[in-house]
Structure 1
Amino acid sequence: MTTTASRSRRLPTGTVTYLFTDVEGSTRLLEAAADRWPALLADHDRLLRGAIAEHGGTVVKTEGDGFFAAFSSAVDAVAAAVDAQRALAANEWPDGLAPSVRMGLHTGLGLLGGDDYIGLDVHRASRIMGSAHGGQVLLSAATAGLVEHELPGGVAMRDLGPHHLRDLTQAERIFQLDIDGLDRAFPALRSLEAVPNNLPMPVTHFVGRRRESVRVRELLESSHVVTITGTGGTGKTRLAIQVGSEIGARFRDGVYFVDLAPVDDPAVVPSQVLRSLGEDSAPGNRPPREALLDRLADKEVLLILDNFEQVIAAASVVADLVTASPRSRFLVTSRGPLRIAAEQEMPLEPMDLPSRHDPGAAADSDAVALFIDRAMAVRPDFSVTSENVASVSELVRGLDGLPLAIELVASRVRLLPVPEILARLDPARPGTGTVDMPERQRTIEGAIAWSHDLLDPPVQELFARLGVFAGGADLEQIERVCDDLDVDLLGGLAELVDQGLLRQVASPGGRARFRTLHVIREVALLKLEASGSGEVVHRRHLEAYADWAEEVAAHVMGEARSEWLDRFDTDHDNVRTALDWAAVHGETDLALRLAAASWRFWQSRGHLYEGRSRLETVVSLEGGEPQHRARALEALGGVYWWQGEIDRCVPPYREALVIQRELGDRGEIANAIYNLALGQSVAALASGVTDDLRREVYGLYDEGEAIYRDLADENGLGNIAWGRGQSVSDLDNDSRRALELFHESIAHYRRAGNEFGMGWGMFEVAIFSARLDDIETSWDYLERGLDLFAPHRDVSAVVLFLSLAATLALASGDEERAARLAGAVRGLRNSSGAKIVDHEVTRIRDLTIDELDPTREDLAPLYESGMAMDLPQAVAYALGRDPTGDMRSGPRP
């Protein structure tokens, strides 16, 4: 923007109403107008300036076809906007060349920085205008409240409700002016609600980088992949989020942000992307890469892949996505390019710096504007004055215009005047970075080190230790890793937050949670390793999460399953980091404990593929206490079971039982007995039943039941009854006795408070009731089971119930309903990896949904619509509500 050279009056202060305008589609209009554009723009400017001046407003700035004006009166500002729209509509423009102008107004505090306005209210007005369409006039709630009883004649005001606007953390209630004779019907506002998205809500608003934002948008028009490159701290992530919020509405299927900062393994990238797309789980035994490509096929999304430099080997995933989803666009942030054919690199340089020769124009510099904005966040009365402008300019130049460095240093304004900050920050000493690092990277590490060096030594050590946490941590885990430090932990964390080195973030359940920015975490890790205590701290981190995971595992079968599974999901990256470190450093016992405690999460939330890989890794490590190895073997057998590879689960189950018998813990022996007996009986469906096998299996159940009865263990008795029911069916083909045993298992599980077990008892009652032609009871228990599992987002369980629902629909002759449900089963099975759904043990004998031909001309569209359902939609449909929300008479055919 250029500042108006002369003004007829001083800029108003106090309560000010800001008006922003611009021409929608001006680039296309310019191309269409060609040599007539200057005359069109002159007429546009004349009409806007006239309306603004007539109602006592002052033009603050112009940029191209955009105006920024200020008014002392909200009533006058609204009148100016209305008159301007009427004048534009009444003007005689050449055919097809009438400019369509959008306008936004907001009333707030008129804070001046030099000869320009600064502060959040200016940005709010601009964002309101940015959400409008050509010909539309939008008002904030603040402005609407001041003018609702003094609107110009022929004007009404319409409440459009609350909207999240880019850069603003709080939703803004928006009002539209309906002007007689002009258009009143406009598309939905360009707010974040317009399309599906998971864009992080910024804690600060976007400052500067207008040229860069425009350039990224232009590149995305012509390139499938745009990679914003630059050193740490240049603001790559913030720019990408900004662009996503500006253009996300153009992508039919949404805009999604993928945080790759916690990921070190390129193989995990597809799982991380799937999770960000809203999948409840990563794929199971189906490779995540294949699942991701299928998920985005024929979609039109903007996918923002943040912090790609540490997983650069996964660049081929992006290349494959370009082929699979040609209508999508991929915006990547990385310290270096991906080097794939579809990529257009856009290096991001530091912010524009103020001229040394024109101190008066310092506020026009992006770097200074950012410093002012962040300084005002900690000290609202801060402003650039003739006394400090030279120091501010020198300070941002000394930081090379790096946004993160500027933000960190700006936080010191709370304590020190700018000249003192400058005196304490020696630009000639770039910091603690190694000499082979780029200069700017050393500068930002110097800025971080400067904030760090102001801390007391114990708080410095706390900062270094926080580097071990990937994706943040709850206060509970931070205490475990840092409780031996000579520091008041809460006070130290508060000091780090004040210094901008740590952030407090939202956590499921409202617990206190903290995380560092990725680049700051890297510095913390460097300091941790330099301290010589890195191995000790990483081991404390591993110990903390092994204990934590075992605590969580004790709850994921009970009534509050969803809450505990969500807690695990939040710290999954810490579990991954801990397991990686344990494997490399030979911490076998802790690795076995952590992996074994994690397996029910991996199974319930569909991370079976990753769980299998990690469990196979830890059981291959040398050493380890036998009891920990036995539990990890049981977990590995469980993963094999859920992946439908029943034969493979028997050897680890058998080895675990041998270990437990040697150790002598009767409860653990009984659990290992249950696992092996169940695995052997189900495996016999393929290998064949023998009398010796029958005697061995029933002998194991008898032994296990005797132990559990002696221990008065209702949960264990539920397991034995459930497993015996399977075996009676598999080995003796006695469905009626099996049904009785499954009812017994539900009663035991209910007394034990085990919702997970109750749900599986209900599934088997539903299956065996159907096998005995009691369809009514089958439906009853199917509904009960779904009511237990669906709220916990237990995708592996839900997919089995949906398969049963599809089978029952097919048995009743409702092929259309069966086709939709079969499609849902296939889609969720692929995303979760729960291939147990394909095994005979989960079927109604002599009837499966495999008999349905999904390629049949009349069924194919229904099958495909089912595949497109997410978990809540599929459950709702199975229980009687189709994906559009229309109620059926009931779920039963």
Structure 2
Amino acid sequence: MDDEAMPGRLRDAGVTRRELEVFWLVGDRLGNREIADRLRLSERTVESHVSALLRKLAAGSRRSLVETAGRLRERSSALPQPLSSFVGRESELDDLAGLVTTRRMVTLTGPAGIGKTRVALHMAHAMKEPPPAVLVDLAVVPPGHPVDRTFADALGVEGDGRAIGPLIRAAIRARPCRLIVDNCEHVTPATAALLADLLAAAGGLHVLATSHGPLGVAGEVVFEVPPLPLSEDDDPGVVLNSPAVRLFVDRATAAAPGFTVAPADVARIAMICRRLDGLPLAIELAATRIRAFSPGELLDRLDDRFALLTGGARPGRHRTLEEALRWSYDLLDEDERLLLDRCSVFPHEFGYDTAVQVLAGPPLTAADLARLFPRLLDRSLISVRRRAGATRYRLLDSIRQFALGRLAERGESEEAHDRHARHHLEHAVTLVPGLRGRDQPAALRWFGEHWTDLRTAMRRALDTGDTASAWGFLAGIGTGWEILGARGELFDWLDALVDRPRPGGAIGVHAAITCCILYCYQDTGRAREFATWADAQAADAEERALADLMLGWVAIYGDDRDAAARILGSAAAGFDGLGDVWHRALALSLLGLATQDIGTAVERQSAAADLFGRLGDHVKRANCLNHMASAVIEAGVRLPEARTWLDEAAELALRTGNDHERFHAELNGTRLAQLRADHRAAATGFAELLPEFLRIGDLRCATRCHYGLGQAAAAAGDHERAREHLVTGNRIAVATDDQHLIGIGRGLLAATEHALGRPPDPSPPRR
């Protein structure tokens, strides 16, 4: 070993290469026999080297040699001491401890601000057994520059020029250690080359590195540092014990010693941590703002997080969230930056094929995306999740917000968002045939995965006045909404559109059909207006059959069953002539609803269920089974069969992920329990379902929940409470103009008024 590779004091004392190797092992508290075995020397030779070291270093004892070695190591490799507590990461540290003791090269990866350095240093401090840890911090090295000098400084190696590499290798061979190599992302090629050389030269070397992505060294094990988890539990105690919230509270308390978490603040703090994706840097910076803002005020300001999360007393390179992300962004090539910026148009997860459709465009081709996506993944700027063989990507929200800003600076924001909106609104319509047939599972899965995209796209269309795209989407799905089910935002979109000019021609008729279907959940009178308009505008056999279908539907809710049966019979014949089996099955199901005789009603629903089943439409089969059960429960007959039908409906709803039909099955099951006088279970069931139906906008079923709660309260003798629910339910029934439900509600309310000793209200309900 060259003399320049050893600390100056040892070199000046005339310590030889072999004596240096013995010196470091003495410093590790190894006995002479252990040293002899390690260096393949005789024990007598080791004794001779130890005697020489005692003489040359004027050490009075072997203990003095140990202390000298410790001081020299501390001077060259002193690990920074943490200034704040280490929160969370218990499971990660356990996994990492197993890796660093069995693998020679482990790299911690993750985006800026995820806490890689903190985890690496905590692990280094926790390792009590030799070899000792030496920190090599590459943050000070300019991007793309050599890293040898920084390694040499950390190891206490003197020398320069071309000789520095061999000197570092000699020092590593002579002094076994564990290198903590931090911040490698901007000097990856040079760092990887040097580490590969050192690992090959020194069998006792272990490396724990941190970088945005893998270094590509042979034998490297990559350990991805995840965001801090946040419990999905609603219990405040559980939420407060989750690592992300614990970090926020710890740093907030340090920044504002008088801060305490009020019960109402637990959910707000949890939402702050969730909005910040569990990113420790962002959480710490947000927590310091507790001096100026309450948790609720902080949450309200997160849309402008880069202005909010600045400064603070946090040590290290990144004192702002934007600074941390800018560091990562500046290390990208220009085409990588452009792709990352364009990815920001996705509000949530997305697949690669969708990305190609939305993001490819000059100067990026589809082939470019195939080349660039792995690079962004390797730099931890895109997260990946695999489920059932499918890969989904997403940007952490802070990265997405940063990239959105860069996209706007490029002047591409409007075009990129329009492209995203058009793709999703148009592609959704192409899946309607699949929704109605044997491709239903894949189509339903697409809508489930892309609903956030569709919500964003509709908001874009409405905000920019693109009513053609908005109507094209809603009308294009049309009767397919019967499969997808009611969703609260559908009614918001309709409210924003119906007062604007309605499209003409076929799209206008289908838009009216959609309005009728959806308003049937909320307002029979308004649904009737659209059905009548569609009937007047129908220009071909398909449009006339659809208009008849809608007119018959609203007649059912108007309690004009005879007219409904006549019109629906015409619709069924029309669809039969068109060879449209799915719509014929829908007409048959509605005919079942219009039929007074229970046996015939169930028979028609059963026939419709069989047709839907043969087509592969499990959602509408579940819907028919729910209607069959509802009919016999209301009549109080064939209850064992009702239970069988409901079990199958629930299973089909779960299989397809259709919440609406699952809620219907649970509602009918609760009605069945009430019919069997299990009023406590019924009260619980109706209470749990009521907010769900209100959330998705199904006011008819919300009415049934209120009626059920009223009956349960009456059975318990609480007639005042019963009256409250019945009045509320009847008010909703009147608002929806559902004459059948109005009649049921008036009968229940009259019985309750009688129980309270009050005369019945003779006035008819009003809208």
Fold conserved between structures, TM > 0.5: yes
**Residue-by-residue CA offset, 1:637-695 (whole Å, 9 max, x unaligned):** 3222234x333322223333444x22x2x445423321221112222x2xxx4xxx845
Matches within 5 A, 1:647-666: 647-659=525-537, 661-662=538-539, 664=540, 666=541
Q: Secondary structure at the match of 2:520?
A: helix
Equivalence for 1:443: none
Q: Against the structure 1 CA distance between its residues 167 and 514, is the aligned structure 2 distance closer, same or farther, given a 3 Å change threshold?
A: closer
Equivalence for 1:722: 589
Cα drift, residue 615 of structure 1: 2.2
Distance 1:723 1:566 in 2: 27
Distance 2:525 2:695 in 1: 23
Residue 492 in structure 1 maps to residue 372 in structure 2: yes
Distance 1:120 1:599 in 2: 59
**Residue-by-residue CA offset, 1:26-58 (whole Å, 9 max, x unaligned):** xxxxxxxxxxxxxxxxxxxxxxxxxxx9xxx99
Residue 741 in structure 1 maps to residue 604 in structure 2: yes
Equivalence for 1:708: 575
Q: Secondary structure at the match of 1:586?
A: coil
Distance 2:132 2:655 in 1: 49
Cα drift, residue 510 of structure 1: 4.5
Equivalence for 1:588: 467
Q: Against the structure 1 CA distance between its residues 623 and 728, is the aligned structure 2 distance closer, same or farther, given a 3 Å change threshold?
A: closer
Distance 2:342 2:525 in 1: 45
Distance 2:674 2:346 in 1: 50
Partners of 1:508 and 1:566 within 8 A in 2: no
RMSD after superposition = 5.5
> Which region of structure 1 is more displaced relative to structure 2, 645-654 or 774-783?
645-654
**Residue-by-residue CA offset, 1:745-797 (whole Å, 9 max, x unaligned):** 11211222111221121112222334262222222212221221234443322
Equivalence for 1:678: 553
The code of the aligned residue for 1:238 comes to L
Distance 1:586 1:218 in 2: 50
Partners of 2:683 and 2:708 within 8 A in 1: no
Q: Against the structure 1 CA distance between its residues 61 and 517, is the aligned structure 2 distance closer, same or farther, given a 3 Å change threshold?
A: closer
Structure with bigger helix share is: 2
Partners of 1:552 and 1:568 within 8 A in 2: no
Partners of 1:667 and 1:708 within 8 A in 2: yes
Equivalence for 2:323: 405
Cα drift, residue 721 of structure 1: 0.9
Cα drift, residue 304 of structure 1: 9.5
Residue 813 in structure 1 maps to residue 655 in structure 2: no
Q: Secondary structure at the match of 2:677?
A: coil
Q: Secondary structure at the match of 1:506?
A: strand
Q: Against the structure 1 CA distance between its residues 538 and 777, is the aligned structure 2 distance closer, same or farther, given a 3 Å change threshold?
A: same
Alignment partner for residue 347 of structure 2, among 447, 464, 470?
470
Residue 776 in structure 1 maps to residue 651 in structure 2: no
**Percent of counterpart pairs with the same letter?**
15
The code of the aligned residue for 2:301 comes to E
**Residue-by-residue CA offset, 1:202-232 (whole Å, 9 max, x unaligned):** 9xxx99998567447962446954999xxxx
Distance 1:303 1:789 in 2: 39
Q: Against the structure 1 CA distance between its residues 207 and 629, is the aligned structure 2 distance closer, same or farther, given a 3 Å change threshold?
A: same
The code of the aligned residue for 1:767 comes to S
**Residue-by-residue CA offset, 1:705-764 (whole Å, 9 max, x unaligned):** 2232223332122111111111223xxxx3332222112211211222111221121112
Equivalence for 1:71: none
Equivalence for 2:488: 609
Cα drift, residue 545 of structure 1: 0.5
TM-score scaled by structure 2? 0.55
Equivalence for 1:39: none
Partners of 1:213 and 1:242 within 8 A in 2: no
Q: Secondary structure at the match of 2:713?
A: coil
Distance 1:170 1:728 in 2: 57
Q: Against the structure 1 CA distance between its residues 64 and 726, is the aligned structure 2 distance closer, same or farther, given a 3 Å change threshold?
A: closer
Q: Secondary structure at the match of 1:473?
A: coil
Q: Secondary structure at the match of 1:820?
A: helix
**Residue-by-residue CA offset, 1:124-168 (whole Å, 9 max, x unaligned):** xxxxxxxxxxxxxxxxxxxxxxxxxxxxxxxxxxxxxxxxx9965
The code of the aligned residue for 1:349 comes to G
Cα drift, residue 113 of structure 1: 0.6
Distance 2:181 2:228 in 1: 12
Q: Against the structure 1 CA distance between its residues 236 and 768, is the aligned structure 2 distance closer, same or farther, given a 3 Å change threshold?
A: closer
The code of the aligned residue for 1:808 comes to L
Partners of 1:111 and 1:119 within 8 A in 2: yes
Cα drift, residue 613 of structure 1: 0.8
Distance 2:501 2:473 in 1: 16
Distance 1:10 1:668 in 2: 90
Distance 1:540 1:199 in 2: 43
Q: Secondary structure at the match of 2:134?
A: strand
Cα drift, residue 631 of structure 1: 3.2
Equivalence for 2:620: 757
Q: Against the structure 1 CA distance between its residues 849 and 706, is the aligned structure 2 distance closer, same or farther, given a 3 Å change threshold?
A: same
Equivalence for 1:823: 687
Cα drift, residue 837 of structure 1: 1.6
Distance 1:65 1:217 in 2: 14
Q: Secondary structure at the match of 1:852?
A: helix
Distance 1:304 1:11 in 2: 53
Distance 2:396 2:321 in 1: 13
Distance 1:753 1:117 in 2: 61
Distance 1:235 1:787 in 2: 37
TM-score scaled by structure 1? 0.48
Q: Secondary structure at the match of 1:803?
A: helix
Matches within 5 A, 1:300-699: 308-309=300-301, 335-336=307-308, 349=311, 352=314, 366-367=315-316, 396=317, 401-402=319-320, 405-406=323-324, 409=327, 448=329, 450-451=330-331, 454-456=333-335, 459-485=336-362, 486-487=364-365, 488-498=368-378, 502-506=381-385, 509-522=388-401, 524-556=403-435, 564-565=443-444, 567-596=446-475, 608-622=487-501, 624=503, 626-643=505-522, 645-659=523-537, 661-662=538-539, 664=540, 666-683=541-558, 685=559, 689=560, 694-695=562-563, 697-699=564-566
Equivalence for 1:156: none
The code of the aligned residue for 1:700 comes to I
Unaligned runs of 5+ in 1: 1-6, 14-52, 68-73, 75-102, 122-164, 172-188, 229-233, 247-301, 313-332, 337-346, 353-365, 368-395, 412-447, 862-893
Distance 2:442 2:326 in 1: 36
Cα drift, residue 546 of structure 1: 1.2
Q: Secondary structure at the match of 2:347?
A: coil
Cα drift, residue 799 of structure 1: 2.8
Residue 853 in structure 1 maps to residue 730 in structure 2: no
Distance 1:210 1:811 in 2: 53
The code of the aligned residue for 2:279 comes to R
**Residue-by-residue CA offset, 1:551-607 (whole Å, 9 max, x unaligned):** 454445567767654543443332222222212333222111234467899888886
> Which region of structure 1 is more displaced relative to structure 2, 751-760 or 475-484?
475-484
The code of the aligned residue for 2:551 comes to L
Cα drift, residue 463 of structure 1: 3.9
Partners of 2:436 and 2:480 within 8 A in 1: no
Distance 2:587 2:262 in 1: 62
Unaligned runs of 5+ in 2: 1-23, 31-69, 87-96, 98-124, 137-153, 155-176, 183-222, 270-274, 288-293, 722-767
Q: Against the structure 1 CA distance between its residues 728 and 583, is the aligned structure 2 distance closer, same or farther, given a 3 Å change threshold?
A: same
The code of the aligned residue for 2:529 comes to P
Q: Against the structure 1 CA distance between its residues 707 and 857, is the aligned structure 2 distance closer, same or farther, given a 3 Å change threshold?
A: closer
Q: Secondary structure at the match of 1:468?
A: coil
Equivalence for 2:740: none
